Structure 1
Amino acid sequence: MSTKKILVTGGAGFIGANFVRYTAEHRPEYRITVLDALTYAGNKDNLAGLDGVELVVGDVCDRDLVDRLTADTDVVTHFAAESHVDNSLYDPEPFVRTNVHGTFTLLEAVRRHGKRLHHISTDEVFGDLPVGSTDLFTENSPHNPSSPYSATKSGSDMLVRAWARSYGVHATISNCANNYGPYQHPEKFIPRQVTNLLTGERPRVYGDGTNVREWTHVDDHNAAVHTILDHGTAGETYLIGSSAERSNREIVELILELLGHQADAYDHVADRPGHDLRYANDSSKLRALGWRPRYGDLRQGLADTIAWYRDNQPWWQTHKTIAETKYAEIGR
């Protein structure tokens, strides 16, 4: 088995760190370098216990650093992004800088050195779908972003498509449904509800809670990325999804049940501006490459995730305090 080098931008964040862990366990042919700015969402503790992983602390917008790291790798997986919708509504500038300019910086380095790139994106770039419909996003769905976060991710997707077409960059894109699993920051929906309950607080749901998401376990997401790296076609986009659709209210009620609480023991708070109604992906193009989600049972995936947060309270307690202070400032 020949050794290959892989650069993981944003590899100390939630999905990126889980990708590093998945790769270290399942793909030992890769030598892994992580580039991460270690902002509030990037945490070197997410990589604790991993041998042979090089962590470079730096900014994806740093042209010289990105160029040097790209020149010394075979494959680049681009996870680095500002990613929380509420934060983008509160302060959009970092999202424009990291998601758009950072992707441009990386694309130029990949172009100069002729490297393979996979760009991680979100189904939120497509806008939303009607609740109650059977419509699905496809790779050909038009982009219709509704938040600064999704708008900047849409911009980054378009840059990758343009560089692939205009310059022949060997790049692929994946747009994934909502992820859940270990190491996710407690500002996000599922870990916020879980950690509320673990600290004696009630879960909170935006609006009436009928907004629907398709939930994909982070390990299934990262297995899909490797499938695309191995078998995907340059210039193509692939949608990742588990087909496990649930409303926000259903998710909270399931978490309450799994933690032994009454199903109605949660509060409704003011809705998020421009809150998308429903996300759901047609992942048949990816499945044709051989990928299948291991966590088809959302209940089991949530139970495993809850157990991780229960067993790793020192990891999230400080993050939780900071996140809840910020939520209090904006009334959510």
Structure 2
Amino acid sequence: MRILVTGGAGFIGSHFVRSVLQGERDGISDASVTVLDKLTYSGNRANLDPVASHPGLTFVEGDICDEALVDELVPGHDAIVHFAAESHVDRSIAGAKPFVVTNVLGTQTLLDAAVRHRTGRFLHVSTDEVYGSIESGSWSEDWPLAPNSPYSASKASSDLLALAYSRTHHLDVVVTRCSNNYGPYQFPEKVIPLFVTNLIDGRNVPLYGDGGNIRDWLHVDDHCHGIALALTRGRAGEVYNIGGGTELTNKELTGLLLDACGVGWERVDYVEDRKAHDRRYSVDITKISKELGYQPRVPFETGLADTVRWYVENRSWWEPLREKAGL
């Protein structure tokens, strides 16, 4: 299988690329991968170092909004797996334009090229944040979209655009919506690597509001497992939720990270809550489980311990990123 992976030098995209080229994804064998990544602040070529010499890897630095470049790259690929996105909620609140440009117009550029060149499958990677917030129960894939941040609104727009291309142009589109990811190689502005690297460096960590916001945590390898299933076995025109099955309040997560780093609650600063901060996310994974056989395989306790250990042992990876981002 010849796969074009956008955003393949980012956190989740690079994990997918590494695992595909190392033969770790069921249903994908003898794959070649072209990575298209703009290498903005969160894209990191070093994320692909473990497979840098693999004969099946081609890396192209470029923008998914560059129509000429995309039109040159898309032909010859059996599938597009579209990770590339601006994804940090706080940054979207500070300035929404890059999110609209990359997440909506970039997706449209890729979709148009896929139609022109009759790409076999277009897998669009999205987020549970498009659903908004839910007090109880869990979202199924047909739940109305109600995004509350500029980031999630831009992702909801790209979801609808991708699904519209499926109906209008009969493009073989599959959309996945994941819960909160964690694992190695995650850019240190996100909560788990931010907290761990702060604590390692002797800094305090910021906890929004009362810490009662609830998230479902998904190890990046489980997410990529679900993506591979959707890519190879999902039904065209369908949406599949991918969850991890571990719901925690932000305060509970903070406690686990404090324990893992051997420090106490004196290292926590309570800060003003984020604007329009969604209270709870929870996805129903019944559909992907029944249709594709997906189940999360990484126990949260194991995954979190491994993640903390990775950041402890890989200061040379994250320290320059924190400095560059002014964290």
Q: Same fold (TM over 0.5)?
A: yes
Shift of 1:77: 0.1
Q: CA RMSD in A?
A: 1.1
Residue of structure 2 in register with 1:244 after alignment: 246
Distance 2:266 2:122 in 1: 46
Residue of structure 2 in register with 1:19 after alignment: 16
Distance 1:16 1:229 in 2: 14
Task: Note if contact 1:216-1:241 (Cα within 8 Å) is conserved in structure 2.
Answer: yes
Return the match for 1:203 from 185, 205, 209.
205
Distance 2:118 2:130 in 1: 27
1:96 matched to 2:100: yes
Residue of structure 1 in register with 2:109 after alignment: 105
Residue of structure 2 in register with 1:291 after alignment: 294
Task: Note if contact 1:187-1:324 (Cα within 8 Å) is conserved in structure 2.
Answer: no
Shift of 1:10: 0.3
Distance 2:235 2:130 in 1: 21
Distance 1:85 1:260 in 2: 29
- SS of alignment partner, residue 253 of structure 1: helix
Task: Note if contact 2:18-2:50 (Cα within 8 Å) is conserved in structure 1.
Answer: no
1:321 matched to 2:323: yes
Distance 2:77 2:273 in 1: 44
Distance 1:281 1:110 in 2: 29
Identify unmatched segments of 5+ residues in structure 1: 326-332
Shift of 1:298: 1.2
Residue of structure 2 in register with 1:126 after alignment: 131
Residue of structure 2 in register with 1:168 after alignment: 170
Task: Note if contact 1:253-1:264 (Cα within 8 Å) is conserved in structure 2.
Answer: no
Equivalences for residues 174-323 of structure 1 within 5 A: 174-263=176-265, 265-288=267-290, 289-295=292-298, 297-323=299-325
Task: Note if contact 1:254-1:263 (Cα within 8 Å) is conserved in structure 2.
Answer: no
Number of aligned residues = 318
Range moving further from structure 2, 314-323 or 136-145? 314-323
Residue of structure 1 in register with 2:4 after alignment: 7
Shift of 1:68: 1.5
Distance 1:166 1:112 in 2: 13
Shift of 1:64: 1.3
Distance 1:246 1:91 in 2: 29
Q: Which amino acid in 1 is paired with 2:129? A: E
Range moving further from structure 2, 22-31 or 231-240? 22-31
Distance 1:230 1:74 in 2: 11
Identify unmatched segments of 5+ residues in structure 2: none
1:261-295 CA deviation, whole Å, 9 max, x = no partner? 22564121111101000000001111111111111
Shift of 1:150: 0.3
- SS of alignment partner, residue 242 of structure 1: coil
Distance 1:160 1:98 in 2: 14
What's the % identity of the aligned pairs? 47
Return the match for 1:82 from 75, 81, 86.
86
* TM-score, structure 2 as length reference: 0.95
Task: Note if contact 2:203-2:267 (Cα within 8 Å) is conserved in structure 1.
Answer: no
Shift of 1:209: 0.5
Shift of 1:322: 4.0
Task: Note if contact 1:120-1:175 (Cα within 8 Å) is conserved in structure 2.
Answer: yes
Task: Note if contact 2:130-2:155 (Cα within 8 Å) is conserved in structure 1.
Answer: yes
Q: Which amino acid in 2 is paired with 1:14? A: F
Q: Cα 1:210–1:194, aligned 2, differ >3 Å: closer, same or farther?
A: same
- SS of alignment partner, residue 218 of structure 2: strand
Residue of structure 1 in register with 2:70 after alignment: 66
Q: Which amino acid in 1 is paired with 2:243? A: G
Distance 1:125 1:191 in 2: 23
Task: Note if contact 2:165-2:171 (Cα within 8 Å) is conserved in structure 1.
Answer: yes
Q: Which amino acid in 2 is paired with 1:221? A: H
1:47 matched to 2:48: yes
Range moving further from structure 2, 99-108 or 257-266? 257-266
Shift of 1:321: 2.8
Range moving further from structure 2, 34-43 or 316-325? 316-325
- SS of alignment partner, residue 203 of structure 2: coil
Distance 1:244 1:264 in 2: 26
